[in-house]
Structure 1
C-alpha cells in the first residue's frame, strides 16, 4: 500500500507566469495563479506548478560537478517538428551532438533541462 499520492511537480523559477506560459504552449492546458505560484492544468488531469524563487540559479547540464536537479521527459510524435516549436518558444538546445537517437535535450527559458522523446 502506498503511503502517499503524487500531487504536483513544482519548478522553482524567477518568473512563474512566464515559465507556465512556455509550458502551456508546449503541453497545452490552462494557467492559473499569481506572481508567486502558478499552476498549469494539463489536458488529461495532470498539473505542473511553478514557484517564484528569489535568487534562482538554473542547473548546469551537462556538468559532472553540478546536479541537473531533475528533468522532464516530454513524449512527441515528430522530434523535428517539436524541436522547431520549443526553440521558437525560447528553449535552447543543450545537446546537439547525436541527432540519430530518439531523444533531444533542451533547457526551458528558466534553464531547467527537459527532453523531447520520440514515441
Structure 2
C-alpha cells in the first residue's frame, strides 16, 4: 500500500506564467493562476506547477558540480516534428540531437527535458 499519491511536479522559475505557457504548447492542457504559482492541468497526466523563485539559477547539463536535480521525459510520436515545435517555442538543444530515440533540450527557464520515442 502506497503512503502517498503524486499530486503535482513543481518547477522553480523566474516567470511562472511564461513557463507554464511553454509547457501548455508542448503538452496541451489548461494554465490556471497568476503571480508566484501557476498550474498546468495536463489531460490524462500529472499536473505541472510553476513557482516563482527569486534568484533562480538554471541547472547545468551535464555537470558534475551543478547537478540538474531532475528532468522531464516527454513521449512523442515523431521526434523530428516535436523537435521543430519545441525549438520554435524557445527550447534550446543540449545533447544527443542525432540519437535514434531521444533528444535533450532546455526549456526557456533552463530546465532539461527529453523528447522520447519508442
TM-score (norm 2): 0.96
Name the TM-score, length of structure 1 as normaliser. 0.95
Other-structure match for 1:102: 101
User: What does residue range 41-56 of structure 1 map to in structure 2 within 5 Å?
Assistant: 41-56=41-56
Do the aligned partners of 2:9 and 2:46 also contact (CA within 8 Å) in 1? no
**Unmatched 5+ residue regions in structure 2?**
none
Do the aligned residues in 1 keep the contact of 2:68 with 2:112 (CA within 8 Å)? yes
Contact kept in structure 1, 2:72 and 2:112, CA below 8 Å: yes
Q: Secondary structure at the match of 1:81?
A: helix
Q: State how far apart, in whole Å, the 2-side matches of 1:2 and 1:84 are.
A: 39
**Contiguous gaps of at least 5 residues in structure 1:** none
Provide the C-alpha distance between the structure 1 equivalents of 2:64 and 2:47, rounded to a whole number of angstroms: 31
Residue 45 of structure 1, CA deviation: 4.9
Whole-angstrom distance in 1 between the partners of 2:20 and 2:117: 23
- Per the alignment, residue 114 of structure 1 pairs with 113
- C-alpha RMSD of matched pairs (Å): 1.1
